[in-house]
């Protein structure tokens, strides 16, 4: 059980989080303020906020679990993100800042019509509900195992705190709280790693040599194999993840709108993406160091049947001194809060801009702000419900589930974005055919690769024999984007060319700069 000092630290961190929301509550009287922080935030703070949004309790728990139980192949996706973003951010930021009012999916409507806006915004909503449920779930399991608290109570308590601070403080409070939580996350990770290394005879040198000899720091097989989890599977997945996250995801696009200029928004985006890879690496390395520690480096016996993603919480509770335990748990909670508050605000922005404003175009800005806050409350309660279902259903490999849910719910949205900006000839009727092909392909791949039942009764939902989808499921999201792009491109030639504004395509943007 936790010491009283640790409980005090945790409670203070929650009070500070809610206090930041209260501190900015007086300014949240308009949609521009509630959703875009008045468009006056400094670039460094926005960058820290992007960083804090991209990391979460998934980073804090599942990455050490992956580093402990396997190698570093899942880190390859993260490495590909900055390499991809550097090439696209100079165009993507001005595109959104000049084309949309609030929702990223307004671009899709201007390029391909309202159906494209609805399709892409629903994909965002589904993906982020699954993500929020996973974040709540991981945190609840960890804190429950460390404190003895019921997992459902943890979910409800944290959920209420996140809802309150998001409703009161809006995007301005979220960004400044993300700055605090980002530093706390980095500090907590570094402190934990230092303590692990100090307790291993030979320290960093022993960890590096032992892990290297055991191939624990490998980035995966370089075989050109898409059936198994290889380097190339994660590299290609990482490219499309970066395009989708920085090119279509409301949680990132909305950050572009909080800066005072295009230049500041670009600088903020690069800051966020360059910060996140070292932190992902840090937590993967924590898992590797824990493997060395518990494999003869000075650690004791681990309980039988302990999952890989439960090893770090076990170390925190049994090896760290009083006070440090509270700081690490506070950092863990901060990681979750910094992701969840952003998700709620952005879900509300999509709800207001893509749907409510469409249904009630005569509504006032004040009314839309109120509706946005109501959506935060409803979405927060729904996310608590999703997380509770996760707890009831149990868990098998959370990090893999997260990647899989993103692949399923992405629905080819990155493919739509690439089609819109790279192919001026593409039109909405061609896109509709592309969406139909993408949905059919995704359904085929899932049904022919997802077994049901147990034991001898296990069978595929749909069995086409040699024509079943057999490649790695992380590739499913990649293929959905590729199918969307190429089918939509080819089908567009069956219909007249669209009449487009220059600011909607990359070619038009280049002409405007000439």
Residue 330 or 497, more confident: 497
82-96, 293-307, 310-324: which is most confident: 82-96
- The pLDDT score that the predictor gives to residue 152 is 85
pLDDT digits (tens, 9 = 90+) for 382-425: 888 878 877 776 544 454 455 455 555 557 899 999 999 999 99
- The pLDDT score that the predictor gives to residue 408 is 58
- Quote the percentage of the chain above a pLDDT of 90: 44
The separation between CA 435 and the C-alpha centre of its own chain, rounded to angstroms, equals 24
pLDDT digits (tens, 9 = 90+) for 143-168: 887 777 888 888 888 889 889 989 99
Spatial distance between the Cα atoms of 361 and 377, rounded to a whole number of angstroms: 23
The average confidence (pLDDT) of the chain is: 87
Q: Report whether pLDDT(500) > 70.
A: yes
Torsion from C-alpha of 308, 236, 256, 61, nearest 10 degrees: 0
Residue 462 or 289, more confident: 289
Which whole number is the average pLDDT over 375-381? 92
* Residues of each domain in the chain carrying CATH 1.20.1730.10: 4-392
pLDDT digits (tens, 9 = 90+) for 220-239: 899 999 999 899 999 999 99
Residues in the chain: 514
pLDDT digits (tens, 9 = 90+) for 440-492: 898 888 888 877 666 666 777 788 888 898 998 889 889 999 999 999 999 99
> 376: Cβ–Cβ under 8 A, 6 or more apart, which residues?
163, 166, 167, 344, 345, 347, 348
CATH architecture of the domain with range 4-392? Up-down Bundle (1.20)
Query: Where does the pLDDT of residue 258 fall: very low under 50, low under 70, confident under 90, or very high at 90 and above?
Result: very high
Torsion from C-alpha of 303, 307, 310, 312, nearest 10 degrees: 80
Query: Where does the pLDDT of residue 295 fall: very low under 50, low under 70, confident under 90, or very high at 90 and above?
Result: confident
Query: Where does the pLDDT of residue 360 fall: very low under 50, low under 70, confident under 90, or very high at 90 and above?
Result: very high
- The pLDDT score that the predictor gives to residue 143 is 82
Neighbours of 113 (CB within 10 A): 16
pLDDT digits (tens, 9 = 90+) for 171-198: 999 999 889 888 888 888 899 899 999 9
pLDDT digits (tens, 9 = 90+) for 81-103: 999 999 999 999 999 999 999 99
> 345: Cβ–Cβ under 8 A, 6 or more apart, which residues?
34, 35, 166, 170, 171, 174, 254, 376
Which whole number is the average pLDDT over 347-353? 94
Closest CA to 118 of 103, 101, 97: 103
pLDDT digits (tens, 9 = 90+) for 263-279: 999 999 999 999 989 99
> 160: Cβ–Cβ under 8 A, 6 or more apart, which residues?
none
Residue 190 or 337, more confident: 190
Closest CA to 177 of 187, 269, 371, 185: 185
- The pLDDT score that the predictor gives to residue 154 is 85
pLDDT digits (tens, 9 = 90+) for 30-54: 899 999 988 889 999 999 999 888 8
């Amino acid at each position: 059980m936790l010491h009283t000092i640790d409980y005090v630290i945790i409670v203070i961190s929650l009070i500070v989080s809610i206090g930041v929301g209260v501190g900015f509550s007086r300014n949240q009287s308009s949609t521009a303020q509630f959703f875009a922080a008045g468009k006056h935030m400094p670039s460094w703070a926005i960058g820290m906020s992007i960083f804090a949004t991209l990391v979460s309790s998934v980073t804090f728990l599942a990455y050490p679990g992956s580093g402990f139980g396997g190698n570093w192949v899942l880190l390859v996706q993260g490495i590909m993100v900055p390499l991809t973003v550097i090439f696209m951010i100079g165009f993507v930021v001005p595109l959104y800042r000049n084309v949309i009012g609030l929702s990223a999916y307004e671009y899709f409507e201007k390029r391909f019509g309202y159906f494209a806006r609805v399709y892409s915004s629903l994909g965002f909503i589904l993906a982020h509900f699954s993500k929020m449920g996973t974040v709540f779930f991981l945190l609840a399991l960890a804190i429950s195992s460390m404190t003895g608290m019921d997992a459902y109570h943890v979910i409800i308590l944290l959920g209420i705190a996140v809802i309150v601070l998001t409703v009161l403080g809006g995007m301005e409070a979220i960004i400044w709280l993300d700055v605090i939580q980002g530093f706390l996350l980095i500090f907590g990770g570094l402190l934990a790693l230092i303590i692990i290394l100090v307790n291993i005879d030979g320290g960093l040198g022993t960890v590096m040599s032992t892990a290297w000899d055991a191939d624990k720091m490998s980035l995966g097989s370089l075989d050109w194999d898409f059936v198994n989890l290889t380097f190339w599977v994660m590299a290609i997945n990482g490219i499309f993840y970066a395009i989708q996250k920085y090119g279509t995801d409301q949680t990132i696009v909305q950050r572009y709108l909080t800066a005072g200029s295009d230049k500041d928004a670009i600088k903020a985006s690069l800051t966020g993406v360059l910060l996140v890879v070292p932190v992902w690496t840090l937590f993967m390395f924590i898992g590797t160091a824990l493997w060395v520690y518990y494999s003869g480096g000075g650690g004791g016996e681990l309980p039988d049947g302990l999952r890989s993603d439960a090893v770090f919480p076990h170390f925190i509770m049994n090896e760290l001194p009083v006070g440090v335990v509270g700081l690490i748990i506070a950092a863990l909670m901060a990681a979750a809060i910094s992701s969840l508050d952003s998700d709620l605000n952005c879900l509300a922005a999509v709800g207001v801009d893509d749907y409510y404003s469409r249904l009630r175009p005569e509504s006032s800005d004040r009314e839309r702000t109120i509706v946005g806050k109501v959506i935060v409350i409803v979405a927060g309660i729904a996310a608590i419900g999703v997380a509770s279902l996760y707890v009831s259903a149990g868990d098998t490999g959370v990090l893999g589930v997260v990647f899989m849910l993103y692949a399923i719910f992405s629905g080819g949205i990155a493919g739509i974005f690439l089609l819109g900006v790279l192919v001026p000839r593409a039109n909405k009727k061609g896109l509709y055919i592309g969406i139909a092909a993408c949905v059919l392909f995704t359904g085929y791949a899932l049904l022919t690769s997802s077994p049901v039942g147990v034991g001898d009764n296990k069978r595929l939902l749909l069995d086409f024999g040699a024509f079943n989808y057999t490649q790695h499921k992380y590739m499913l999201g990649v293929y959905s984007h590729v199918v969307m792009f190429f089918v939509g491109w080819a089908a567009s030639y069956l219909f007249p060319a669209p009449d487009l504004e220059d600011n909607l395509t990359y070619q038009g943007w280049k002409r405007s700069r000439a």
